[in-house]
Structure 1
Amino acid sequence: MTSSSTSAPANTTGPGGTTLVYGKGSGSQPGHTLRVYADLRCPFCKRVERGLGPVMEKLAEEGRVTLEYQFATFIDDGAGGTGSLCALSAVGAASDVGAATAQRYIRSLFASQPAEDDDAFADTGVLLRLAEEVEGLRGPDFDRKVTEGFYLPWAHRVSAAFESSGVTGTPTVLLDGRPVTVINPMGYAVTPEAFLAELNLD
Structure 2
Amino acid sequence: MTSSRTPVPANTTGPGGTVLVHGKDTGAPPGHTLRVYADLRCPFCKRMERGLGPVMEKLAEEGRVTLEHRFATFIDDGAGGTGSLRALSAVGAASDAGAATALRYIRSLFAAQPAEDDDAFADTGVLLRLAEEVDGLRGPDFDRKVTEGFYLPWARRVSAAFETSGVTGTPTVVFDGRPVTVINPMGYAVTPEAFLAELNLD
2:130 paired with 1:127: no
**Which amino acid is 2:33 matched to?**
T
Query: How many residues in Structure 1 have an aligned counterpart in Structure 2?
Result: 199
TM-score after normalising by structure 1? 0.97
**CA deviation string 1:135-191 (max 9, x = no partner):** 000000100000000000000000000000000000000001100000000000000
**Which amino acid is 1:129 matched to?**
R
User: Displacement, 1:116?
Assistant: 0.3
2:110 is matched with which residue?
110
Counterpart mapping for 1:46-61 below 5 A: 46-61=46-61
Counterpart mapping for 1:11-160 below 5 A: 11-160=11-160
| Alpha-carbon contact 1:5-1:154 (below 8 Å) kept | no
| Alpha-carbon contact 1:5-1:153 (below 8 Å) kept | no
**Which amino acid is 2:84 matched to?**
S
User: Displacement, 1:5?
Assistant: 4.6
**Which amino acid is 1:107 matched to?**
R
User: Displacement, 1:6?
Assistant: 1.6
User: Displacement, 1:25?
Assistant: 2.0
Q: CA RMSD in A?
A: 1.0
| Alpha-carbon contact 1:173-1:182 (below 8 Å) kept | yes
Counterpart mapping for 1:143-182 below 5 A: 143-182=143-182
**Which amino acid is 1:43 matched to?**
P
**Which amino acid is 1:195 matched to?**
F
Q: Which runs of 4+ in 1 moved over 6 A?
A: none
**Which amino acid is 2:67 matched to?**
L
Assess, with a 3 A threshold, how the Cα gap between structure 1 residues 48 and 190 changes in structure 2: closer, same or farther. Answer: same
**Which amino acid is 2:86 matched to?**
C
Q: Which runs of 5+ in 1 are unaligned?
A: none
| Alpha-carbon contact 1:31-1:63 (below 8 Å) kept | no
**Which amino acid is 1:131 matched to?**
A
**Which amino acid is 1:186 matched to?**
M
TM-score after normalising by structure 2? 0.97
**CA deviation string 1:22-78 (max 9, x = no partner):** 111225453200000000000000000000000000000000000000000000000
1:192 is matched with which residue?
192
**CA deviation string 1:72-104 (max 9, x = no partner):** 000000000000000000000000011111011
